[in-house]
Amino acid sequence: MTSTVDTPADAARPTPPSGLVTVARAPGWVRYALLAVGLLTALWLPNGLYPAVAVDILCWALFAVAVDLLLGFTGLMSFGHAAFWGTSAYVTGLVAIHLGLPFPVAVLAGALTAAALAVPIGYLAVKRTGIYFAMVTLAFAQLVYYVANEWRSVTRGENGLQGVPRELFGLDLRDDYYFYYAILPIVLLGLAAAWRIVHSPFGRVLVGIRDNPARARALGYPVHRYKLTAFVLSGFIAGLGGGLFAVGHRFVSLDVLHWTTSGKAVIVVVLGGIGTLWGGVLGAAIVVRLEDWLSFSGFEAIGLVTGGIFVLVVLLFRRGIWGSVAALVTRWWAARRR
| Residues forming the site for other proteins (CB under 8 A) | 77, 79, 124-125, 127-132, 134-136, 138-140, 142-143, 146-147, 150-151, 213-214, 259-260, 263, 266-267, 270, 300-304, 306-311, 314-315, 318
Compare residues 142 and 327 and give the one whose CB is closer to other proteins.
Answer: 142
Is residue 94 within 8 A of residue 148, CB to CB? The reply is: no
Q: What is the DSSP string of 130-162?
A: HHHHHHHHHHHHHHHHHHHHH-HHHH-GGG-EE
Compare residues 10 and 150 and give the one whose CB is closer to other proteins.
Answer: 150
Q: Nearest approach, Cβ of 86 to other proteins (angstroms)?
A: 15
Rounded CA-CA distance 266/209 in Å is: 21
Cα angle 312-62-294, degrees, rounded to a multiple of 5: 45
The region, left, alpha or beta by phi > 0 then psi within -120 to 50, assigned to residue 188 is alpha
Q: Nearest approach, Cβ of 260 to other proteins (angstroms)?
A: 7
Label residue 320 exposed, middle or buried (CB < 10 Å: 0-12, 13-18, 19+). buried
Q: Supply φ then ψ for residue 79, to 5 degrees.
A: -105, 25
* Residue-level length of the chain: 338
Q: Nearest approach, Cβ of 180 to other proteins (angstroms)?
A: 29
Compare residues 81 and 166 and give the one whose CB is closer to other proteins.
Answer: 81
Rounded CA-CA distance 163/330 in Å is: 49
Rounded CA-CA distance 232/300 in Å is: 36
Is residue 68 within 8 A of residue 282, CB to CB? The reply is: no
Q: Nearest approach, Cβ of 298 to other proteins (angstroms)?
A: 13
Compare residues 46 and 208 and give the one whose CB is closer to other proteins.
Answer: 208
As beta bridge partners, residue 321 has none
Compare residues 192 and 302 and give the one whose CB is closer to other proteins.
Answer: 302
Compare residues 180 and 322 and give the one whose CB is closer to other proteins.
Answer: 322
Compare residues 116 and 139 and give the one whose CB is closer to other proteins.
Answer: 139
Rounded CA-CA distance 324/317 in Å is: 8
Q: Nearest approach, Cβ of 65 to other proteins (angstroms)?
A: 19
Amino acid at 242: G
Compare residues 36 and 131 and give the one whose CB is closer to other proteins.
Answer: 131
Tell me which residue of 130, 155, 141, 110 sits closest to 252, measured CA to CA.
Answer: 155
Q: Nearest approach, Cβ of 161 to other proteins (angstroms)?
A: 19
